Amino acid sequence: MSSNNLTVANAGDLDHGKQLSWGWLVAFLALVIVLWLAAWFGTTHYYQEPQYRGSFGDMFGSVSALFSGLAFAGLLFAILLQMKQLELQREELSEARIQFRRQADQLEAQARTMAKQNFENTFFRMVSMLAEQAESITVWNLKTQEELKGRSAWVYFYSVFKAKYHNLDDENVPAVSSKHEEALLPILAHEQLLNYFGVLVHALSLLDKSDMKDKIFYGTFMSSQLGPHEKCLLFYYGLLRDLHHTKERIQRFSILYGIDKSYLMDISHCEWYDIRAWTPVNEPE
């Protein structure tokens, strides 16, 4: 039987039950009226004298008191029964509230789980994209007249940056810039490298704006996917004047964890970053 048929059947049973209840009520009222009329007719027919009628009525005084007492007892019983029902209702409401809280907690836990899954899917996909971009970057080496790809390209970018940096004199650096900024400009002109850093900055922004508790875990995971030349260039990329948020996120999430400081242009440059950049420190919740 289908659910629609069951619903119709249940509705029919309820209507039938209501008809029976109204039928019993009408029958009971009709019986009371018939008995009252029969008593009135019998009294007026058999006791035509008023004094006899009064004596006859007084005979039922104790019965009236009995029924009055029974009615009062019934009233007390109904009140007690109603109090019991109210108590049961309060218990049911209390259990319903507890169940509602449990369901709310479960929904909240499910929402947190879904949010975490959505974040991790996006974040790890972006980290995977970074690794793919790092391996697919190509550059033409003018000196050797050959195309470099992947890690070889990163070594080339690092060598160009290093040579440019050490060949710059402080006097030739514009007042509004710095040596590392000027040294980065030639390699940032490479579109693939610029896109790579764009994805990395976006991944850091995603991590920063998320509700994840252990953000250091995700930061060090990203750091583990970066090679030494990538980390060195990222070190100086985060120092660009327009990327102050990126520098702060590099520090907070320990993106330079495991960096080889010998790759830096000067070991004293370590002072430009907080130690958190390469030493994971869990933030207080």
Alpha helix positions (H), the chain = 3-46, 50-58, 61-136, 151-167, 179-188, 191-209, 215-224, 228-237, 244-252
Quick: pLDDT tens for 179-212: 888 899 889 899 999 999 999 999 999 999 998 8
pLDDT of 285 reads 47
HEC string of 211-257 equals CCCCHHHHHHHHHHCCCHHHHHHHHHHCCCHHHHHHHHHHHHCCCCC
For the range 91-95, what are the long-range contacts, defined as Cβ-Cβ under 8 Å and sequence gap of 24 or more? none
pLDDT of 282 reads 67
For residues 158 and 229, the answer to whether their CB atoms sit within 8 Å is yes
Cα separation, 224 vs 256, whole angstroms: 9
pLDDT of 56 reads 56
For residues 273 and 261, the answer to whether their CB atoms sit within 8 Å is no
Quick: pLDDT tens for 94-138: 888 998 888 888 888 888 889 899 999 999 999 999 999 999 999
Question: pLDDT category, 51, cuts 50, 70, 90?
Answer: low
Mean pLDDT (the chain) is 81
pLDDT of 215 reads 92
Model-wide pTM > 0.85: no
Q: 260: exposed, middle or buried (C-beta count within 10 Å: 0-12, 13-18, 19+)?
A: exposed
30-56 mean pLDDT: 63
List the single range of 88-92, 195-199, 246-250 with lowest mean pLDDT: 88-92
pLDDT of 8 reads 42
pLDDT of 111 reads 87
